[in-house]
Structure 1
Amino acid sequence: MNPSPGPDPADLAVQGAALIADGRPFEAIEVLRQAMAGGEPSAPDLLLRAYLASGSWRAVVDWLGPLVDDGHVRFAGRLGVALVELGERERAETVLRLAVESGDVPAANDLAILLRDEGRMVEAVNVLVEAAAAGDQLAAANVVALHLDAGDLAAAAAAAERYATERQPDTVLALAEVRAQQGRHGEAHDLYRRAGQLGALRAHTAYGQFLSGTGADPEAVEREFREAERLGEPGSAFALGRFLYDEGRFDEARSYLQMAADEGDRQAVEALAELDGVEADEY
């Protein structure tokens, strides 16, 4: 009797993709390894997505490093991100610069963050200005964010006013953040709402945080965080979890904080530790 055939590699790839979409990248990894072993053409890219989503940075480097070394520069940006996460900053900078120089303009945002974290603000801003001029959708907004992080509100305002355009919704959100810091709350409200209508990446999360900081009705704050969750905005799980925690709704908060912690959010880990009355190192 012939042994029964194993799972179809194409079906495994579909299953792996579904697990990634469902926020279960660790489970997806083994499924996609099987799909790749079975020769499924889509499996390598899906497996890379699973590694990235799960924070398996060493696996990413081991996979992509040889490819980039062999001239496959389209992987350089993702390799650079993994190297940053592993603390290999010098190599990360080299790889990210290679990515940008090879036409991966969005990698400029990761390079700028690396430069900022090393205190090289002028270089970071210059990298983003060049990326914005090349049409990157996030770089202009990130110029504003860099200036705000550095406490230079005047420079942030000048950049926000220069770049703001409804063709790039995140620049509208950046201008909202500046107006909020300037105390021009009426304008900020309008800009946050418009950024949300235009589809800015973190519009509802940022608006919820603004409303919370100005003492708005908690129901209005929660509506924004719930909408951010529905849209899958980056950081929305922690924002909603922190809000629920601060409202004393601990049981509801836990699942969101755990979700954010699983995605590598250190603030979420600290909030969970605070909730459980233990040290963050215990997680």
Structure 2
Amino acid sequence: MTAQPDEAARTDAVHRIPVPPPEGPLTAAGRALLEQHRAWEAVEPLRRAVASREPGSADLLVRAYLDSGSWTAAIEFLAPLVEQGHLEFAGRLGVALAELGDHSRAEQVLRLAVAQRELPAANDLALLLRADGRFAEAVRVLTDAAEAGDPQAPDNLVALHLEAEDLAAAVVAAERYADERRPDALVALADVRAVQGRDAEAESLYRRAGELGAVRAHTAYAAFLVARGDLDGADREYREAERHNEPGWAWTIGRFLLDTGRPEAARWYLEMAVTWGDRAAAEALAELDGEDPADD
């Protein structure tokens, strides 16, 4: 008698999740370079992968352009896609436009992304509005995104209030959204507790956020330790930020090394940050080389 599959097996067969197509060789090569922080080198194999229509290559090529600060190339690639209705690329197009100073078009595209429920784009839109001095609009955008469940919006909202020196509003927002299901909100609450002088609580929150994988937990904790004079602890946390590939880790480590009298050690990190299009790092590197960053 032929054995019959059990109920679990039949259910699995009915509800089986489609297996994605295998990654092509050029896409795999580009991904490996990106994971090694070699975005510039990843561009060419990924461009060839896109031309060969390898699955997943377009997303990785966009990442390579953005990670390497290739804003013009990113716009040239993304703009036609968005115009053709591929709105999943709208947020990243907005980022590239903002980096090149085209704030009007960037705002238009970022609002389109937000309207399509691309919640991460709300954070970039808020940063753009803040840069243009439209603080109240930025707060509204981040509040809406936080209420909709975006994991980074509470952190950015609290940072906005702290930047405006509105501690009361920062406390309200931080306490409202603090939740271990959104680890970055714990970082925001830690920042608030640090400003309030509640150091033990802040330190505990930074550590817990790091355990839960918050995007900037180690960078924020390191800055907290620097402010309290614990440079060894800060050095350790900055290295953890690098290990976890936290946003801007090369610039923050380079700045830390400069500020603690280690300019040559800082150089490698600053040069790395420059390859990612970091303007602050470029200015710091120019000063390190004895140049005036205001000169053309």
TM-score by length of 1: 0.90
Structure 1 residue runs without a partner (length 5+): 1-8
**Which deviates more from structure 2 when the two are superposed, residues 173-182 or residues 185-194?**
185-194
2:70/2:277 contact within 8 Å kept? no
Task: Give the one of 159, 167, 177 matched to 1:153.
Answer: 167
Within 5 Å, give how 1:24-39 maps onto structure 2: 24-39=38-53
Q: Are 1:210 and 2:224 counterparts?
A: yes
Task: Name 1:262's counterpart in structure 2.
Answer: 275
Q: Are 1:141 and 2:155 counterparts?
A: yes
CA–CA distance in 1 between the matches of 2:294 and 2:27? 36
CA–CA distance in 1 between the matches of 2:285 and 2:73? 27
Within 5 Å, give how 1:92-241 maps onto structure 2: 92-216=106-230, 218-241=231-254
Q: Give the counterpart letter for 1:253 in structure 2.
A: A
Q: CA deviation at 1:145?
A: 1.0
Task: Name 2:78's counterpart in structure 1.
Answer: 64
Q: Give the counterpart letter for 2:91 in structure 1.
A: G
CA–CA distance in 2 between the matches of 1:63 and 1:250? 38
Q: Relative to structure 1, is the Cα distance of residues 227 and 101 closer, same or farther in structure 2, using a 3 angstrom cutoff? A: same
Task: Name 1:279's counterpart in structure 2.
Answer: 292
Task: Give the one of 59, 65, 71 matched to 1:45.
Answer: 59
CA–CA distance in 2 between the matches of 1:120 and 1:36? 38
CA–CA distance in 2 between the matches of 1:166 and 1:176? 13
2:139/2:160 contact within 8 Å kept? yes
CA-to-partner distance for each residue in 1:177-212, whole Å, 9 max, x for gaps?
Answer: 111112222222222222222221111111111111
CA-to-partner distance for each residue in 1:223-263, whole Å, 9 max, x for gaps?
Answer: 11111111111122222222222332232221112112222
CA-to-partner distance for each residue in 1:121-173, whole Å, 9 max, x for gaps?
Answer: 11111111111111111111211111111121111111111111111111111
Q: Give the counterpart letter for 1:134 in structure 2.
A: A
Q: Relative to structure 1, is the Cα distance of residues 39 and 175 closer, same or farther in structure 2, using a 3 angstrom cutoff? A: closer
Across the two proteins, how many residue pairs are aligned to each other? 274
TM-score by length of 2: 0.86
Task: Name 1:6's counterpart in structure 2.
Answer: none
Q: Give the counterpart letter for 1:150 in structure 2.
A: A
2:66/2:276 contact within 8 Å kept? no
Which structure is richer in relative contact order (CA contacts within 8 A, separation 6 or more)? 2
CA-to-partner distance for each residue in 1:9-53, whole Å, 9 max, x for gaps?
Answer: 932222222122212222222222233334434433322222122
Q: Give the counterpart letter for 1:152 in structure 2.
A: D
State percent identity of aligned pairs. 59
Q: Give the counterpart letter for 2:147 in structure 1.
A: A
Q: Relative to structure 1, is the Cα distance of residues 69 and 274 closer, same or farther in structure 2, using a 3 angstrom cutoff? A: same
CA–CA distance in 2 between the matches of 1:209 and 1:87? 29
Q: Relative to structure 1, is the Cα distance of residues 162 and 250 closer, same or farther in structure 2, using a 3 angstrom cutoff? A: same
